[in-house]
Structure 1
Amino acid sequence: MPASAAPRSTPTHASDVLHRLGITLSRWWPSRQVAAVSTRQVQLLALVSPLDEAVDAQPAADRAVAACGEPGPVPASAAQDAGQQNTVYHRLMIRLRGLRVDNNLLVLQERASRLLTYHEWMLHQAVNLATSLQTDARVEAARLRLNGLGAPAADLRELRDEVRAMAERSCHEQAPP
């Protein structure tokens, strides 16, 4: 009898069934890829990306905060713009915190996280004050003090420039001669 016509043996024990099932699943299930360890250069470039986007979003965020602090009734569009910018900074914060960096870059990541948190908080406060149903003098005075993101915006730009310079130095150091 040819080999292809031979009847397949059927497993008789539960362990045989489980063994064959395991082999079948291991062939079907995708293998786990081990992530490559990121180099310092890759980590710095990954840090620069959300910082670049945060700095690019600053003018719109600054205008939104300032519009919420203008005297008189706040247009709904100003509060809506501040809310949208708050979402931008929240997403950038999530991306930044999701990055895995070495301990020596952790200080930069935490500093960036604090600055993005400030931006997000300021935008949130602007929306709250602009849409507050309370019309007492304290709320109005707090709202009128809103005039933009302030010094933390400059700090964020400086941090971005610092991390970008470190990334560029790292790129030049690793370039073949």
Structure 2
Amino acid sequence: MQAVALQDEADAVILGCARPGEVPCEVARVGRAVAGQYGRLCGWVADLVVTAGSGPLPRRTGELLRYHLAMIDTALKLAFPKCRSERLERHRLALTGLGAPARELRDVEFALRERIVELESSR
């Protein structure tokens, strides 16, 4: 699953935004590219939910993808704010990565792979 493969890059962007001092512009460039890929995947999953029905697995996948996208977006906004403040800086420095939802997305990927194997073997 492409979303899981992007997690290392997403974590790197979030952690790059959380480093003390000035955040390199390269972090923003990579972050926007990763966010764009997650945005595209969110659209595909939303289409899948509409066409295949709103089962729990596709619906949860969409929620997790939106979380990943929101975390990258938040990290970038905190790292490159329009106005700096001590409160925003504390939040930026407290970022630690994608966290538990990243593990859950990997579990969802595993469940989807198992489902695909079941479907293929039932043919």
TM-score by length of 1: 0.66
Matched position secondary structure for 1:64: helix
Give SS of 2:116's match: helix
1:116 to 65, 70, 91: 65
Aligned residue runs from structure 1 range 131-150, under 5 A: 131-150=80-99
2:31 maps to a residue whose letter is A
CA–CA separation in structure 2 for the residues paired with 1:133 and 1:70: 18
User: 1:134 is matched by which residue type in structure 2?
Assistant: C
Q: Tell me, yes or no, if the aligned pair for 1:69 and 1:144 is still in contact at 8 Å.
A: yes
Equivalent residues of 1:67, 1:78 under 8 A apart: yes
Partner of 1:101: 52
Distance of 2:119 and 2:73 partners within structure 1: 37
Compute the displacement of 1:102 (Å). 4.1
CA distance in 1, matches of 2:92, 2:40: 25
Corresponding residue SS for 1:133: coil
Structure (1 or 2) with the greater helix fraction? 2
Secondary structure of 2:4's match?
A: helix
Q: Output the CA distance in 1 between the equivalents of 2:5 and 2:70.
A: 18
Q: Unaligned stretches of 5+ in structure 1?
A: 1-51
1:97 offset after TM fit, Å? 1.0
Count the aligned residue pairs: 121
Residue of structure 1 equivalent to 2:30: 81
Alignment partners' CA distance in 2, 1:71 and 1:134: 17
Task: State the match for 1:165 in structure 2.
Answer: 114
Larger CA Rg, structure 1 vs 2: 1
1:128 corresponds to: 77
Q: Please, what is the CA RMSD of the aligned residues?
A: 1.1
Q: Detail structure 1 runs of 4+ shifted over 4 Å in the superposition.
A: none
Q: 1:132 aligns to what SS in structure 2?
A: coil
Per-residue Cα deviation, 1:43-96 (whole angstroms, up to 9, x for no partner): xxxxxxxxx010111111110111011111111111221111111100001111
The aligned counterpart of 2:101 is 152
Contact 1:79 1:126 in 2 (8 A): no
CA distance in 1, matches of 2:64, 2:46: 12
Whether the 8 Å CA contact 1:115–1:152 is kept in 2: the answer is yes
Flag the structure with more relative contact order, 1 or 2, with Cα contacts below 8 A and sequence separation at least 6.
2
Paired letter, 1:101 = A
